[in-house]
Chain A
Amino acid sequence: MSATLSAHLPALQVVLPLIAAPFCVILRKSAAAWFIALVFSWVSLGISIMLLEQVLTHGPISYLLGSWPAPWGIEYKVDKLSAFIMLIVTSIGSITMIFAPKSVNLEIPKDRVYLFYTMYLLTFAGLLGITITGDAFNLFVFLEISSLSSYVLISLGSERNALTAALRYLILGTVGATFYIIGVGLMYQMTGTLNIADLAERLPEVAETRTILVALGFVTVGIGLKLGLFPLHVWLPNAYAYAPSVVTAFLAATATKVAVYMLLRVYFTIFGTDIFAALPIDEFLLVLGLIAIVTMSGVAIYQNNAKRLLAYSSVAQVGYMVIGISMVTATGLTATILHLFNHAMIKGALFLALAAVFYRIKSVKIDDMAGLGKEMPYTMAAFVVGGFSLVGVPLTVGFISKWYLILGALEKGWWPVAALILFSSLLAVIYFWKVIEVAYFKPRPESADTVSDVPLSMLIPLWVLVGANIFFGTNSNLTVSTAMGAAKALIGGAP
């Protein structure tokens, strides 16, 4: 049985969380829904580890849904890149689910908690679906599944502003998805196929036509909106700031990563690097990325809400990933793919630490965090390590990705770019120091209640992520070799 089941892992990866969601709706009990979400997250993590192993030993896997042959039916395709992204999504999901129950019960009204887990499972399934599918239209469907359910997740936030934030994300997200599907429609018009591998084969013939270039533009803007690419990021800070803490941690660590994956897929698998000669979208991305890392890190300095601060920092981090893409070299892409993983670990840890802070003091305003260094030592220590990693201090994962990014920039002889990357890291030190200064060097105000650290069920998942920051910062072989392999596969072996 195990041998037969292992052949169906690609389908199970998406279908199991998808089928778990309606069971949460039927049961309607918070604890039962949580248990289902937890179990299925961990099962998915197991599946993605097995898939990564299969891909690393036997090469890409193709799975035909309904046994319809590939260009006509929907094909699921797992290669190094998608297996790696699925590993990111499932590991973050599994860890947040351990952390979730206490935080969720505090922030979400009791009768809606089951909805949170249902929507979480749907988002999870949608993100995995985007990553695994080998069909451009099917990708759109999963994009909508994950987006619609994440709008609901954000709107579950306890402040009324969460509704406005979710509505704004809904409008911009829908525009993004529509642009993507218009782009896919134009490609379909020229090639008559929706299968990604098939598209890649047929596109070069018509690559110079205006229709295809317009399609490239539409797809770029559409994915850019989902990605939070500067200047299309306006929905992101509010959505992250007002969503329930656990939701922010999960979405910040996974949703934008999957959008970057879409960008990589579209540029390098479907269009191929030659398209940049016809439409220099790489230079365009480079400029946007550079503006993002400098201005958004600058804006982050002036935030008083720690969640908003990290949200702006996320927009800046997306800038790093986009700069990696714009290099169009194996090193640049390695840096991007590495940063997908590393940033997921960093932001996952930081937002979970903030969720723990909110659990105790009911606020994530920086001023209210005064003196927390003494009162919640383990949580704040986790925040500090996460911050070091975000800045890129050696021995943390943040250093590894910045190292490869600067290496890529120097390979191309882009000295100013390397300098700007370092400069924006300095800005990260400044906005990070703001939080640390308040938490460690200001006394707790007399009027505030004394608080203790959060329970172990929250501290352990938090520290697992922090540990991952240090572990993969010192043993980067697995992540670097997988990212390099994926980058080389994307760029077609060329240096």
Chain B
Amino acid sequence: MNNHSVLRVVSKFMIPYILLFALYVQFHGDFGPGGGFQAGVIFAAAFILYGLIYGIENARKVLPATATRILLALGVILYAGVGFAGIYFGGNYLDYNVLAATATGGQHLGIFLVEFGVGTTVAATMVTIFFVFSGQDF
């Protein structure tokens, strides 16, 4: 699709807003509809759109397989790490109350970090699935 100039221009124009909207859904998940899973999918959609228009090779240059694999693992580690932080600060596993000075602050911080982990892993997984399927010669 490299020679469709309309698609190229429009996608270039849209990708930053898709990424921005993903971050909004991610970080506003505390107060409104949203959260890590949805944000991760939207974030990945930007890369998938780029891959569709500019080709997989170019998309892989932006986000190499090594990077997606590490991000994929780091999200899970962040999630579990927050759980361990709960134990470290004297609560149970995944107890957010003890993470900050007040219980409410702790809940905010805990869910924020956990959802960020979810978002990272979901985005990396989505991009990986797309790359793997589109990279195969059927």
Contacts and interface: CB of A to CB of B under 8 A. Distances in A.
Contacts of A64: 92
Contact of A26 (B69, B91, B93): B69
A235 B96 CA distance: 43
B93 A65 contact: yes
Nearest to A64: B92
B62 interface: no
A67 B83 contact: no
A22 B74 contact: yes
B123 interface: no
A66 B80 contact: no
Contacts of B76: 18-19, 21-22
Interface in A225-247: none
A8 interface: yes
A22 B83 contact: no
Interface in B56-104: 69-70, 72-74, 76-77, 80, 83-84, 86-87, 90-97
22 contacts: A8-B87, A8-B93, A11-B87, A12-B93, A15-B80, A15-B83, A15-B84, A18-B76, A18-B80, A21-B76, A22-B72, A25-B69, A25-B72, A26-B69, A26-B70, A26-B74, A28-B69, A65-B92, A66-B86, A66-B93, A67-B91, A67-B92
- Interface class of chain A by DSSP: helix
Nearest to B69: A25
Interface string A1-27: 000110010011001001101110110
Interface string A62-86: 0111110000000000000000000
Nearest to A25: B73
B80 to A, nearest CB: 4
Given A8-B87, A25-B73, A26-B69, A63 B80 contact: no
A11 B83 contact: yes
Contacts of A19: 76-77, 80
B92 A11 contact: yes
Nearest to B90: A4
A242 to B, nearest CB: 22
A494 to B, nearest CB: 35
Interface of A: 4-5, 8, 11-12, 15, 18-19, 21-23, 25-26, 28, 63-67
Contacts of A4: 90
Contacts of B87: 5, 8, 11
Nearest to B73: A22
A23 B80 contact: no
A12 B69 CA distance: 25
Nearest to B107: A66
Contact of A15 (B93, B96, B97): B93
Contacts of B95: 66-67
Nearest to A18: B80
A5 B92 CA distance: 10
Contacts of B72: 22, 25
Nearest to B80: A19
Contact of B93 (A11, A21, A25, A28): A11
Given A25-B69, A64-B92, A67-B97, 16 more contacts: A4-B90, A8-B92, A11-B92, A11-B93, A12-B93, A15-B80, A15-B83, A22-B77, A25-B72, A28-B69, A65-B92, A66-B93, A66-B94, A66-B95, A66-B96, A67-B91
Which interface residue of A23, A25, A26, A66 has the most chain B CB atoms within 10 A?
A: A66
A19 B75 CA distance: 11
Contacts of B74: 22, 26
A358 B77 CA distance: 37
B120 to A, nearest CB: 11
Nearest to A16: B80
B73 A26 contact: yes
B117 to A, nearest CB: 10
Contacts of B69: 25-26, 28
